[in-house]
Structure 1
């Protein structure tokens, strides 16, 4: 990954009337040390983040990402972020991205143990090349996430609806998928329902209806999925949220993993069973996702 920019943020109160945040930003060398050894984001993964796709210097779906950052902060009992300040930081980072595809990351940490809190920063880097996944697709396996469908309501302290920095399980799931000969994974509950992928949302097509698992089981509500549903609805398709059984996955007419940087990757197989694709529709989805979206 080629780093392009890094910016430390001195967070201001959410309700601050401040209009110019320039003096709250400090540009730093993205290749140089910037965090202290007591930083809780690195010691405990105690923080939240967002990844924003950037196309030719335009940051995509900024409002949706900032809203989700605020939602994650509330779930994690972090200070409420000043979204005007964060939006200003995103614009500064986007200006440093240049042509092509990039990714901006927003990170808000609980701070330093027994020290200043919170810690906040923004990075910008060149995005990986996902052209093959977008055109040739990905094979997936289903992996048990280890809890039943109703656990988020019973155990909100698990923070299952927050986008936290604690991604060790997500990365382990991707390694397990590759050990099984697949490219990615779809998490399922112990009682047989579909959740999401480790770093993406799932969209299924049944005829002219597109569905995604209902975000009531600790599923992270995907910004790209929301945007695609608006696009598909505008084209006359039906879209909706369902509690999807894992056993019904192979019966889908088509399926995609969608995320802010990889965009729409068609699923070619689930647990070794081939799944039909729709190359033309996938291409139109990605053309839309690569267009400027606010």
Structure 2
């Protein structure tokens, strides 16, 4: 990944009345050291983040990403991000991206251990080429996430609905999927329900109905999925949030993994069982997702 831009942020209080936050930003060399050895984001993964897709210098779905950043902050007992400050930081980062596809990352950590304030920064980098995944699709295996569907409501301290920096389990799941001969993984609950992929939302098609698991079950509410549901509704398709069993995923008319940077990757097989791919619909979906979205 080619880093193009990095910006440190002096986090403002959520009720700060300023309209210009340029004085709270410090642009730094993205290849130079920037964090101290006591930083809790690196020591404990104690922080949150968002990844925003950028197409030809336009940052996609910024509002939805900032809302989810604030939601994650609340779950993790972090200071509420000042929406306008972070929006201005995204604008600065997007301006450095140029043509093609890029990714902006927003990071808010608890800061230095025993320190007085959180640490915040924004980066921009060239995105990987996901053309093949969007066109040809990905095979997946289902992996037990280790908890039942009702656990998030009973144990909020597990932070299952927050987008935290602690992604070791997610990356381990992808490595396990590859060991099993697949491209990606889909987490399932111990009682047999589909949750999400390690870095994407799952959408299944049943006839003309497009369904995604309910975000209240401890999964992230996908920003790209929200936008995609709007697009599908505009095309006359029905959409719904509902429980999806493993068997329903395996028997779906079609399925996709949807995320902010890879966009919509059709699922070609689940646990070795082939799944039909709607190439025409997938192409139209990705054409929409590559267009400007606010």
Q: 1:245-283 CA distances to partner (integer Å, 9 max, x unpaired)?
A: 112212100000000000000000000000001100000
Alignment pair present for 1:50 and 2:50:
yes
Q: Distance in 2 between matches of 1:279 and 1:192?
A: 29
Q: How does 1:250-261 map to 2 (within 5 A)?
A: 250-261=250-261
Q: Distance in 2 between matches of 1:6 and 1:116?
A: 23
Q: Distance in 2 between matches of 1:235 and 1:70?
A: 31
Q: Paired residue for 2:209?
A: 209
Displacement, 1:216? 1.8
Q: Distance in 1 between matches of 2:117 and 2:186?
A: 35
Q: Distance in 1 between matches of 2:27 and 2:216?
A: 39
Q: How does 1:104-123 map to 2 (within 5 A)?
A: 104-123=104-123
Q: Distance in 1 between matches of 2:65 and 2:216?
A: 19
Q: Paired residue for 1:218?
A: 218
User: What is the root-mean-square deviation of aligned Cα atoms in Å?
Assistant: 0.5
Q: Distance in 2 between matches of 1:216 and 1:17?
A: 33
Displacement, 1:150? 0.5
Q: Paired residue for 1:156?
A: 156
Decide which moves more: 59-68 or 14-23. 14-23
Alignment pair present for 1:129 and 2:129:
yes
Displacement, 1:116? 3.5
**SS of 1:115 mapped into structure 2:** coil
Displacement, 1:217? 1.2
Structure 1 unpaired stretches of 5+ = none
Displacement, 1:103? 0.0
Q: 1:134-185 CA distances to partner (integer Å, 9 max, x unpaired)?
A: 0000000000000011100110000000000000000000000000000000
Alignment pair present for 1:181 and 2:181:
yes
**SS of 2:123 mapped into structure 1:** strand
Residue-pair matches, total: 294
Q: Paired residue for 1:61?
A: 61
The two structures have a TM-score, normalised by structure 1, of: 0.99
Displacement, 1:8? 0.1
Q: Paired residue for 2:282?
A: 282
The two structures have a TM-score, normalised by structure 2, of: 0.99
Q: Distance in 2 between matches of 1:244 and 1:180?
A: 23
